[in-house]
Amino acid sequence: MRMLTVAAAQMGPIQKADSRAAVIARMIALLDEAKGKGADLVVYPELALTTFFPRWYHEDRGEADIWFEDAMPGPATQVLFDRAREHGIAMSFGYAEKTSDGHHFNTSVLVDKTGVIVGKYRKIHLPGHAEYDPERTHQHLEKRYFEPGDLGFPVWRTLGGVLGMAICNDRRWPETYRVMGLQGVEMVLIGYNTPSVNSQRGAEGPEKRLFHNRLSVQAGAYQNATWVVAVAKAGDEDGHHMIGGSLIVDPNGEIVAEAKTEGDELLVHACNLDETAFGKSTIFDFARHRRIEHYGIITSQ
């Protein structure tokens, strides 16, 4: 059996005024707890180091660079890498990335047990809008602050399995999972920040959004015979509430662990990566059963 004990490290709210150091201290506390519970891998949310800043409008785009990291690890995050390496735990977390040539991405990294970044993913499906929209109850300016990811949906052979990453809105798109499924993915790591209300549709509240979260993640897991670990940043950030509902889902699409709070909370589960084999060799044996001659429209429009 190929066992991988994963810890979904849900994080409670991060306020606009919170320092990186304060946030990283919380991440280290979760890492220490995960070590005590035998985790091999800790998964943190999207944009784990800061508040969900795309809700804030900066007329001058350059002012938003305060939310971005231009090195990883950098001066603030080195302690997190050091602690993970001391514990011999792998980790994945999201952050806002500014590249040396001035590009901006919503990024997540996969760090192995020796503290080396072995994988990087840049968010492809960017929701929201680029300009201030007075019609919305709140802003969601990901299209202002980030460029669409340019790395595709790779998978990495590490930790005894085949791992992939996606970020928040990506989890709602079947193509996200299928592109990794076609590469044999066995565990998909996803961080998210999901507002509890739809800024354009007052009637859609937290219950519906938690339902859509489960629906998307469970379907992606089942239809690709993969584990999925989906991790929220939750609760009230400066008056803006976000759903929790972090999940670990097995290759049958069943929930094996689910967050009960909207705070910092660790979900730990020992995942048998060999459980992916049955679905991949039977109902979702892609080579035998897919009919790609009928799928062209998916990539032509």
Instruction: Tell me which residues are annotated as active site.
Output: 46, 123, 168
Burial class (CB in 10 A: 0-12, 13-18, 19+), 244: buried
Q: Which is nearer to ligand CDT, 46 or 97 (by Cβ)?
A: 46
Among 108, 139, 169, 176, which residue sits at the site for ligand CDT (rule: CB under 6 A)? 169
Q: Report in angstroms how near the CB of residue 126 gets to ligand CDT at its nearest.
A: 7
> Residue 73 carries which DSSP code?
S
Question: Please, what's the largest Cα pairwise distance for the chain?
Answer: 54
- The CA distance from 200 to 168, in Å, is 19
8 A C-beta contact, residue 185 and residue 121? no
Q: Which is nearer to ligand CDT, 128 or 279 (by Cβ)?
A: 128
Residues 60-99 that bind ligand CDT (CB under 6 A): none
8 A C-beta contact, residue 120 and residue 109? yes
List phi, psi (to 5°) of 47. 40, 55
Site track for ligand CDT across 115-154, x = CB under 6 A: ------------xx-----------x--------------
Q: Report in angstroms how near the CB of residue 22 gets to ligand CDT at its nearest.
A: 22
Containing 217, the helix (H) or strand (E) segment is helix 206-224
List phi, psi (to 5°) of 67. -90, -5
> Residue 201 carries which DSSP code?
B
Q: Report in angstroms how near the CB of residue 199 gets to ligand CDT at its nearest.
A: 7
Among 31, 168, 180, 197, which residue sits at the site for ligand CDT (rule: CB under 6 A)? 168
- The residue type of 121 is Y
Q: Which is nearer to ligand CDT, 96 or 273 (by Cβ)?
A: 96
> Residue 136 carries which DSSP code?
S
Among 87, 104, 122, 172, which residue sits at the site for ligand CDT (rule: CB under 6 A)? 172
Q: Which is nearer to ligand CDT, 83 or 171 (by Cβ)?
A: 171
List phi, psi (to 5°) of 38. 80, 25
- The CA distance from 179 to 187, in Å, is 13
Q: Which is nearer to ligand CDT, 2 or 129 (by Cβ)?
A: 129
Q: Report in angstroms how near the CB of residue 47 gets to ligand CDT at its nearest.
A: 8
Query: What six digits make up the tokens of 280?
Result: 């991949």
- Strand 265-272: give its sheet, edge to edge: 117-122, 104-111, 90-98, 41-43, 3-10, 265-272
Residues 176-235 that bind ligand CDT (CB under 6 A): 192-194
55 near ligand CDT, rule: CB under 6 A:
no
Q: Which is nearer to ligand CDT, 211 or 278 (by Cβ)?
A: 211
Q: Report in angstroms how near the CB of residue 216 gets to ligand CDT at its nearest.
A: 9
Q: Report in angstroms how near the CB of residue 298 gets to ligand CDT at its nearest.
A: 20
List phi, psi (to 5°) of 273. -65, -25
Residues that bind ligand CDT (CB under 6 A): 46, 127-128, 140, 168-169, 172, 192-194
